[in-house]
Amino acid sequence: MAIQFKNFRSLLVLANRPKNVRSILDWCPFTDGRSLYNIIKDHNDKCIKAYLGMGWLPDFIQDIGEGVRVERYDFSEIEQLDLDSFKDIDIILIDHDAIKGKSIDVERKLVGLKTKMGTVKKPYILLQISKTPKVDSIASYFEPLAISRTEPEIFYNEKEFEDFLTLFCRYYFTGARKYFAKRHATGEDTDNMKSSLKQMASFTRDIAFAMNMSPQKVNFIASRAANNDLFLKGFAESKLQPVILDALAGKFGPNTFKSDQNSLAQKEVLRSVKKSMADRKNFALRDREGNEIGVYTGINPRQAAMKVANRGYTDIRLRERGTKKVHIFVGERVQVGKPAEAPAWMSEKIWKPNVKKVGIEKLERI
């Protein structure tokens, strides 16, 4: 039996379709890379293998599992999308080569896109790719929308794009696995849990990207949610979920949540989440020439440096945004065996980073 997902998250691509291809699916995002169709198909196939490895039956995977599909529009056709279409779009992928120079036509399309995204109040994940090195992120252009950024913010090769897709599946997979294990142990009827399970898995992933959580933190959040019915009721099944995610990104003030409808779990978790968001800082990665080539977040410099080291950097220089302080680290990463609870599709060997602080440099000017 060939397994096909019934549930999908839609990806909207802002790229120019080459004249020699029939569809944006045939477009190759990276130099000497595969087509978008093959990248996404491979991703969906890996997700299905992960569910099979968890022991789920094919019909359960089809009903509960979730894949990625590509909207069949390119940048030239973006204005044809109506508001209803944006209700189903969750990921925005922007090709910097398509918006290079920002002509009047490009500006008009970006303004229209932002307007429609803002009208449909929901969170989006923003992906950026480029074949040209060292381009500037345009994530700030979409403020104050509820946009989740990636790390790094701009993908320059297919491997970085694949890493994002792996996390996208892994976070949903984690939420689904934790909740299923808890409910299955109680003997609950499978059909009764399907709706809640999908909501729980989606919520786990949305909150993970909104808060830029590590996989370890996501595992903790999913475990907590699976064991707390009030948490599940207050968040995963709440019609306020998109608004809550907006607030997590700092888009609305605390008065938004002065409502008797909010459960105690909502209020408690919202307080802790807001504190976590407030504690996070942005650190700009600098090369030897002083160019800022990426932005990483962390509660402290070391946490951000660990993320940089995990991408293979050894000479790590991080300027704390809003200051002239540059935190200097020596980084490394080594390959270790994957955790025992890791999904089947994860590589047998994974990278484990480590950093050592060398000192702090004070810039005269930025």
State yes or no: pLDDT of 73 exceeds 70. yes
Looking at residue 217, its pLDDT comes to 67
Cα 279 off chain centre by:
20
Looking at residue 249, its pLDDT comes to 42
203-214 mean pLDDT: 72
State yes or no: pLDDT of 106 exceeds 50. yes
Instruction: Identify which of 140, 111, 110, 121 has the alpha carbon closest to the alpha carbon of residue 83.
Output: 121
Distance from C-alpha of 303 to C-alpha of 296, rounded to nearest angstrom:
9
How do residues 213-237 score in pLDDT, each as one tens digit?
Answer: 666 666 666 665 554 443 444 444 4
59-74 mean pLDDT: 87
Least confident span in 59-68, 251-260, 306-315, 337-346 = 251-260
- Please state the domain extents for the chain: 7-162, 168-278, 281-362
Looking at residue 80, its pLDDT comes to 84
114-140 mean pLDDT: 86
Looking at residue 5, its pLDDT comes to 85
Three-class DSSP category at 100? coil
pLDDT range class, residue 186, cuts 50, 70, 90: low
Q: Which CATH architecture has domain 281-362?
A: Roll (3.10)
pLDDT range class, residue 145, cuts 50, 70, 90: confident
Looking at residue 252, its pLDDT comes to 35
State yes or no: pLDDT of 85 exceeds 70. yes
Looking at residue 197, its pLDDT comes to 73
State yes or no: pLDDT of 272 exceeds 80. no
Instruction: Identify which of 345, 347, 349 has the alpha carbon closest to the alpha carbon of residue 337.
Output: 349
- Asked if residue 13 lies in contact with residue 93, where contact means CB atoms within 8 angstroms, the answer is yes
7-162 with 281-362: one CATH topology?
A: no
State percent of the chain over pLDDT 70.
72
Q: Which residue has the higher pLDDT, 332 or 217?
A: 332
- Torsion-angle region of 291 (φ positive above 0: left; ψ -120 to 50: alpha; else: beta): beta
Looking at residue 261, its pLDDT comes to 41
Looking at residue 116, its pLDDT comes to 86
Classify strands 147-148 and 7-14 as parallel, antiparallel or unpaired. unpaired
Looking at residue 32, its pLDDT comes to 87
User: How many CB atoms sit inside 10 A of residue 87's CB?
Assistant: 11
State yes or no: pLDDT of 258 exceeds 80. no
Looking at residue 234, its pLDDT comes to 43
Q: What is the phi/psi pair of residue 21, to 5°?
A: -120, 155
How do residues 243-257 score in pLDDT, each as one tens digit?
Answer: 444 444 443 334 433
What class, spelled out in words, does domain 7-162 have in CATH? alpha beta
115-120 mean pLDDT: 84
Looking at residue 54, its pLDDT comes to 76
Looking at residue 313, its pLDDT comes to 92
pTM: 0.63
How do residues 4-35 score in pLDDT, each as one tens digit?
Answer: 888 888 999 999 888 888 889 999 999 889 99
Burial 312-341 (b: 16+ CB within 10 A, else e): ebeebbbbbeeeeebbbbebebeeeeeeee
